[in-house]
Chains A and B, each alone.
Chain A
Amino acid sequence: MQTWALIKDSFREAIDRKLFWVMLAISALIALSMAASGFDDRGMSILFGYMRWNSPDLAVTSPIHKQAVATILGHFIADHFLGWVGIGLAIIATAGTFPSLMERGTIEVIVSKPMRRWHLFLGKYLGGMVFVLVQASIFVLITFLVAGTRWKVWLWSYFWLIPLFVVLFSYLFCFTALFGVLTRSPLASLALTFVAWFLIWAPQATYGLLQAFPPRPEFNPVVRFTEAACSILPKTGDISFVAIKLTGARLPGDLLWRSDSQTEHDEFVENARQVDEESAEFSITRSIGSSLAFEAVIVLLAGWRFCRRDF
């Protein structure tokens, strides 16, 4: 009863903010822009049929059609929209969750109720996650329906993006909670969460560069430090990798490459094969498990502070 009340309140609070509706509007806009294009047996159209190209390569009967749609959904939508814009908006929308809970005059009433402070903290934490779960579900559902009706591909694996998005959000929401409890300020909590996001992203980006351009041996300590940081910190960058793997998407160039140069094409196919091999070696369990372990430590720290402080 108490947990449900907390979740419901978090949701009401989030809905009260304009950002909830902004996020819904953005979701609708993306779905609408997707719906403006369509595929059929002859080719594709855009601007709701205003322009069209008839080509067997673009038709739904094309052997790469389903793969191309999966790539658009799993790669562009998941990685670029959900992974960055969606997460950013979700963090902004939930930055006030803990500061508003701890507002003077409100927190006194709440902590005097017959519930453990840990229960209260975790209930509110869960409330923030549920808000994002709802937003992600709406977004994925409407884009799934558009892809099915307009692009003629019912990609059921696309629904994996919902839990993935929530998990990615939770990697950062733990910082929102921690900074919210420490500062009691939505703005400070928001700013510090974005700083934390950057600090998590930076070692991953550095690691990627080091892999692509192996440094000289004297930089080995930097490499080791980067590797250690990447293994401990939440792996936000892995999520797009996981999304591509679970939705069955491929790198876009692999599918859409059209070059007259056979050599260039062969090189590209070889690169794609290497990516596939790396993907096969990649462990989703290890990536998400270690990230959740780090998140748990931050949540414990935030919860401990929340339970110990006076109001």
Chain B
Amino acid sequence: MEVTEITNWAVDLIRVHKRYGKIHALRGVNVQVRAGEIFGLLGPNGAGKTTLVKIMMTVVRPDEAHGTVLGRRLGHPKKLARVGYLPENHRFPPYLTGLQVLDYFAALAKVPRRVRRQRAPELLDRMGMADWGNTRVSKYSKGMLQRLGMAQALMNDPDLLVLDEPTDGLDPIGRRDVRLLLQELRSRGKTVFLNSHLLSELEMVCDRVAILVGGYIARQGTLSELTEHTVEYHVVAEGDLADLDAQIAELQARRDRSCVIVTGHDTRRVNEVIDLLRRNGRMIESVRPHRFSLEDVLMEVIGGGEGEPVPIARRLDAPR
């Protein structure tokens, strides 16, 4: 690993490669996360998401990786002190109490004792576990362990928070709490790197997302950037439109019962469809733009077999 450039990206990973024997888990991944944003990493199982997160956190050694985290090379010890991390399926020593867990891991993160003593009960309280601090974690439920894990990741007041499936095991209220917490952190200028398979969660909180498929970043950008080219317009008219199928097809649209669907951000074609329907005496009931969800985009990427690396040239818009 080497320092390739110093940027204001909170995370700037370039050409990350990792092989596990014959399996090429990451094939030159490039990911950029702006400081102060919530960034979501998504992809199907086995896409390499957790491996990428683990490489960021020095848990896994890459075969090749360039770039920076918080402006310093990957794994720089001083910068790791500014990162909070919650791994997927984390386990805490069962012989420790909640407060002891927070104290132990914060001590490893070089948080001074005075700060630890003050912050641990505060964070437990923030996570709704104020009464559980002196109970052994072996008696915690999965949701409580997840909340404790979040508190653990926040003990060093990190500039960058890396969360791998943070809402796993949480009930709807817990998920909402996590969402609110992430939004609060963003408002305080913290950067959040979120790895989750819950697309609706990502959609609700993320500023930008990357889709990792087959070891490549297939798409990366803001939610609107990813979904705008996949917008549809639904033109609904009265009656059966079967007799107009040929003319609808000529306009590169398709029919679904009494609805004509125009794919793409092409208002001219939408107007042509409306003209066609009105010329044939059909009453227009509604015209609705339909933006694709993140799930639709993901399905499109997976279904389309996309998996080519996002060119590094796309990084030219890096904030300085």
Q: Report whether A104 and B89 are in contact in the complex, using a CB–CB cutoff of 8 Å.
A: yes
Report if A217 contacts B (CB, 8 A): no
The reply on B292 being an interface residue by CB < 8 A is: no
Q: Does A195 contact B (CB under 8 A)?
A: no
Query: Contact string, B47-65, partner A, CB cutoff 8 A, digits 1/0?
Result: 0000000100111110000
Q: B108 contacts A113, CB within 8 Å? A: yes
Q: Which of B90-108 contact A (CB under 8 A)?
A: 90-96, 100, 104-105, 107-108
Q: Does A199 contact B (CB under 8 A)?
A: no
8 Å CB interface, A151-198 against B: none
Please name all residues of chain B whose beta carbon is closer than 8 Å to the beta carbon of A4 when the two chains form the complex.
107
Q: Let me know if A116 is at the binding interface, CB within 8 A.
A: yes
Range, interface on chain B: 20 to 34
Distance between Cα atoms of A88 and B94 in the complex (Å): 25
Q: How far is the CA of A5 from the CA of B236 in the complex (A)?
A: 67
Q: B76-100 interface mask toward A, CB cutoff 8 Å, 1 = contact, 0 = none?
A: 0111110101110111111110001
Asked if A259 lies at the interface with its beta carbon under 8 angstroms from chain B, I say no
Query: A interface, by DSSP: helix, strand, loop or mixed?
Result: helix
Q: Is the CB of B108 within 8 A of A2?
A: yes
B77, B80, B108, B152, most chain A CB atoms within 10 A: B108
Interface string of A298-311 (1 = CB under 8 A from B): 00000000001011
Given contacts A2-B108, A109-B85, A113-B109, contact A310 B59 (CB under 8 A): yes
Mask for A83-118, Cβ within 8 A of B = 1, else 0?
000000000000000001001111111111111100
B110 close to chain A: CB less than 8 A? yes
- Measured between beta carbons, the chain A residues less than 8 angstroms from B109 are 113-114
B77 adjacent to A116 (CB under 8 Å): yes
Nearest CB of B to A13, in Å: 6
Determine the chain B residues whose CB is within 8 A of the CB of A273 once the complex forms: none
Chain B proximity of A245: nearest CB distance (Å): 40
Size category of the binding interface on chain A = 20 to 34
B58 touching A12, Cβ below 8 Å: no
A218 sits at the interface (CB 8 A): no
Chain A residues with CB under 8 Å of B58's CB are: 111-112
What is the CA–CA distance of A16 and B80 in the complex, to the nearest angstrom?
31
Within 8 Å CB of B108, what residues of A? 2, 5-6, 110, 113, 115
Query: How many angstroms from the CA of A104 to the CA of B59 in the assembled complex?
Result: 11
Contact B61 A310 (CB under 8 A): yes
Residues on B with beta carbons closer than 8 Å to the beta carbon of A2: 107-108, 110
Give 5 pairs: A residue, B residue, CB < 8 Å, sorted on A: A2-B108, A9-B96, A112-B85, A113-B108, A114-B80
New A-B contacts (16) at CB < 8 Å, excluding given A12-B95, A16-B95: A1-B113, A15-B95, A16-B94, A105-B91, A106-B90, A106-B92, A108-B54, A108-B87, A109-B85, A109-B92, A110-B108, A112-B57, A113-B81, A114-B79, A116-B77, A310-B59
Binding site for A on B (CB under 8 A): 54, 57-61, 77-81, 83, 85-87, 89-96, 100, 104-105, 107-110, 112-113, 152
Query: Which 3 A-B residue pairs are closest in the complex by CB-CB distance?
Result: A105-B91, A16-B95, A5-B107
